[in-house]
Amino acid sequence: MTEFSTWDILRNLLLATRSTIQLSLATFLFGGIVGLILLFMRTGKRRALRRFAWGYVELFQGTPLLMQLFIVFFGISLVGLNVPPWLAAGLALTLWTSAFLSEIWRGCVEAIAKGQWEASSSLGMGYFQQMRWVVLPQAFKIAIPPTVGFSVIIVKGTAVTSIIGFVELSKAGTIVTNATFQPFVVYGFVALIYFALCFPLSMSSQFLERKLNVAHRNH
């Protein structure tokens, strides 16, 4: 039996961390795009679109990420397509993220005073113009801290994709454990690597919140 040094364990885990980072970034990007579309649907004037966005958010916030992953993973293969785990993982995480982000951003849009909508409306602006020039620039500032905070939840969410066989940090942890029989050390390292990824994000979210709040108090 080969002996594994601590460095061997750590090196293999760090290699797998790249996949965690890639998946997190892709999820954040695509989830953000879909979330923005949902935000427009939710705050817009069309009743049917508002209902749809509401139902979408309820569905994805009210069910476990693990079940969404399984449904996407097994659902697409029903159509006869062979889905690689990374695609299923990315797709499910994108759908899940977009629901949460659109709900966070809706809160930020609703925090903008009603007078702003009325003022821009009285200037003859349409809904998209109002959003583009008046509401979103102001909502953006409020939205930064919770959005950065949610990115921590995305990084942690990618751990669940190991269950459908996507090889990222958690899956690598399981593989390395099976080879070394040292779960305490391996999962300890895995936890520390996740901590190293998430803690700076949490801290910057808190920092931004404090900083932007001070700016907010002054007017």
Partner 1 sequence: MNYTFDFSSIGSYLPVLFNGILVTIELMAVGATFGVALGIFCAWARALGPIWLKPIVAGYVELIRNTPFLIQLFFIFFGLPSIGIQLTEMQGAMLTMVINLGAYSCEIVRAGIQATTKGQFEAGWSLGMTRFETFRYVVLIPSLQRIWPALSSQIVLVMLGSAVVSQIAAEDLSFAANFIQSRNFRAFEIYFLATAIYLALAITLRQLLRGLGWWLFPRKATR
Site residues for partner 1 per CB under 8 A: 59, 62-68, 70-71, 74-75, 78-80, 152, 155-160, 162-163, 170, 173-174, 177, 182-184, 186-188, 190-191, 194-195, 198-199, 202
CB half-sphere exposure, 157, CA atoms < 13 A: 28
Minimal distance in Å, beta carbon 166 to partner 1? 13
Query: Judged by CB, which is closer to partner 1: 116, or 202?
Result: 202
Minimum Å distance from CB 97 to partner 1? 14
Cβ partners under 8 Å of residue 41, min gap 6: 49, 50, 52, 53
CB of 136 to partner 1, least distance (A): 26
In the complex, least distance from residue 64 CB atom to partner 1, rounded to whole angstroms = 4
- Among 185, 169, 218, CA closest to 18: 169
Query: What DSSP line would sit under 102-159, residue for residue?
Result: HHHHHHHHHTS-HHHHHHHHHTT--HHHIIIIIIHHHHHHHHHHHHHHHHHHHHHHGG
Are the C-beta atoms of residues 112 and 133 closer than 8 Å to each other?
no
Task: Name which of 143 and 152 has its Cβ closer to partner 1.
Answer: 152
Q: How far is the CB of 68 from partner 1 (least distance, A)?
A: 7
Q: What angle do CA 137, 141, 143 make, to 5 degrees?
A: 105
Closest CB to partner 1 among 132 and 156? 156
Q: Which is nearer to partner 1, 130 or 158 (CB)?
A: 158
The residue among 26 and 159 lying less far from partner 1, judged by its C-beta, is 159
